[in-house]
């Protein structure tokens, strides 16, 4: 059972740290905005675009693809190599279903990650180059 809690713990820690990072960025931005208002200076343009919520979807696709691929490979490795080697678990009759579920979910996540990486490579990367050139 502890083997199943480790991935959940890692994902939970990652979500908490991501939320803390966003809150820290927002706090720093608000402090910068208050200082600029006090001095009468104008904020840099790129900061205004960041706070307006403009998202670079090419980066999001790449990030989701890499994370999905890594999680999928991890699920396959857990289902194929790590769980069968635990003596207490390997004696249980239901472990075949656990191994198969880790393996199947790992393959699905890996396929989703590969699909996102292919979309990034064929579509978003080229679109990013056109935007950078000003076309």
pLDDT at position 74 is 87
- pLDDT one-digit tens code per residue, 53-101: 556 777 888 888 899 999 899 888 877 777 666 666 666 667 667 777 7
Task: Reply yes or no on whether the pLDDT at 131 is more than 70.
Answer: no
pLDDT of residue 14: 84
- Report how far residue 129's alpha carbon sits from residue 135's, in angstroms, rounded to the nearest whole number: 9
Dihedral angle of Cα 51, 53, 57, 60, to the nearest 10 degrees:
70
pLDDT of residue 94: 73
**Rounded Cα–Cα distance for residues 99 and 76 (Å):** 9
**pLDDT for residue 44 is more than 70:** no
Measure Cα distances from 29 to 33, 34, 50, 110 in Å.
6, 9, 10, 36
Phi, then psi, of 86 in degrees rounded to 5: -85, 120
Q: Using the 8-state DSSP alphabet, how is residue 42 labeled?
A: P
DSSP element (H, E) containing 28: helix 2-39
Six token digits for residue 100: 């198969």
Kindly report the average pLDDT of the chain as a whole number.
Answer: 77
Radius of gyration of the chain (CA): 22
């Amino acid at each position: 059972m502890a083997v199943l809690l480790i991935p959940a713990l890692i994902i939970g820690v990652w979500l908490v740290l991501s939320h803390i990072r966003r809150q820290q960025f927002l706090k720093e931005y608000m402090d910068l905005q208050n200082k600029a208002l006090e001095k009468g200076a104008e904020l840099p343009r790129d900061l205004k675009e960041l706070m307006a919520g403009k998202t670079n979807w090419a980066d999001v696709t790449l990030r989701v693809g890499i994370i999905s691929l890594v999680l999928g490979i991890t699920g396959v490795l857990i289902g194929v190599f790590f769980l069968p080697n635990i003596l207490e678990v390997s004696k249980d009759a239901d472990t075949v279903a656990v191994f198969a579920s880790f393996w199947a979910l790992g393959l699905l996540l890996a396929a989703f990650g590969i699909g996102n990486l292919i979309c990034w490579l064929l579509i978003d990367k080229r679109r990013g180059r056109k935007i950078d050139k000003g076309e």
